[in-house]
Amino acid sequence: MRIFSTSSVEMLNTLSSLESLNLYAPDYEVPLFGVSLQLPNLKHIGLHYAEPYHIEVVQQSNLLFGLEPFEIAFVKGDPDAAELWDEDWQSDTIRWICQCSLLRKLVIDAGVINFVLPTELAEMSAALPLTDVCLKGSALGSLSDASKFWPKVTRFYWDMSCQLADLPHLTGQPNLQHLGLKLVQSNTSGLHLYNGTPTLPALQTFELLGWPFTLGPDLSFIAQYLLSMWPNLREVIWSPPEIRRLDSAKLAKAMLNLKMLNDFIILWRDARRLKSGIINEYGKGVLDRMLG
């Protein structure tokens, strides 16, 4: 729904069953300001092309308290807009989001804005019942900050470019089952299998974001490397974008490598279970003799 005038805003109060509302600047710049909306069933708000004071307007309109999903997409294509997002506005934004005591899903699309969540507010954010977080653009200082803000999530997406060597830094989210990251480099040179407590013990799905990406050359080692951190990993997935026919060969190779990686994950996971079963049933000595 688009809002163009104060009368349109007041009309919203007649929609007592409204559950989802998407606002597009400048539709909500002036009309919403100072208007108290009564939308008792509102569960979702999306702010698109937002600037700092847009969020303040929505906050002052009493729209935040009952939200479960909340989506913010900042102004895109306007580098000058970055100057508006100083540290005070960033902190205020997180404080307002933290008023959503029922919030379960949060989407932040930073666009061209260098928006970094203030770490001093991580404890406040961690108290929210969030289970699903999607970040686009700059929003965290590093992967290790994710657990400080959202320790309870079961799904976490961030289109941050990372390498295999960066993955062990993502810890402290024991319930995380679905992880989406932009893996831009999968060179295994210098990598060692992770030898410690599993970093994400509940993780089952690792989703690759973006294109292009590379997997290889040692897909067997990559599978073992991922399982050494995420022992319950079941699959690595990727949704191919629409690409030019010129890139079809690259796409075919990527899809083949992805299938081979998943085959190795199944192989090594089953081998680990078989090894554990033999040790439990017959003892490690029997396994050593079997392996020569």
Summarised one tens digit per residue, pLDDT across range 222-257 is 999 999 999 999 999 987 666 555 466 777 888 888
H or E stretch at 223: helix 219-229
Summarised one tens digit per residue, pLDDT across range 171-216 is 999 999 999 998 877 778 888 999 989 999 999 999 998 776 677 7
236 near 261, Cβ under 8 Å? yes
Q: Count other C-beta atoms under 10 Å from residue 249's C-beta.
A: 9
Find the range with the poorest average confidence among 64-73, 80-89, 114-123, 251-260: 80-89
H or E stretch at 258: helix 248-282
Summarised one tens digit per residue, pLDDT across range 122-174 is 888 899 999 999 988 777 878 888 999 999 999 999 988 888 999 999 999 99
pTM, whole model, 2 decimals? Answer: 0.83
165 near 142, Cβ under 8 Å? no
H or E stretch at 259: helix 248-282
Q: According to the model, what pLDDT value does residue 4 have?
A: 46
Count how many Cα atoms sit within 13 Å of the Cα of residue 244 in the half-sphere of its side chain.
2
125 near 98, Cβ under 8 Å? yes
H-helix segments, the chain? 6-12, 52-60, 87-97, 122-126, 146-149, 219-229, 248-282, 284-290
Give the residue among 279, 280, 193 at the shortest CA–CA distance from 230.
Answer: 193
Please check the confidence at residue 285 and state whether its pLDDT lies above 90.
no
User: How long is the chain?
Assistant: 292
- Tokens found for residue 274: 């078989």
Domain ranges of the chain: 154-292
Q: Which residue has the higher pLDDT, 110 or 222?
A: 222
H or E stretch at 122: helix 122-126
Summarised one tens digit per residue, pLDDT across range 5-55 is 555 666 777 788 888 888 776 655 555 556 667 778 888 888 877 776 677
Please check the confidence at residue 284 and state whether its pLDDT lies above 70.
no
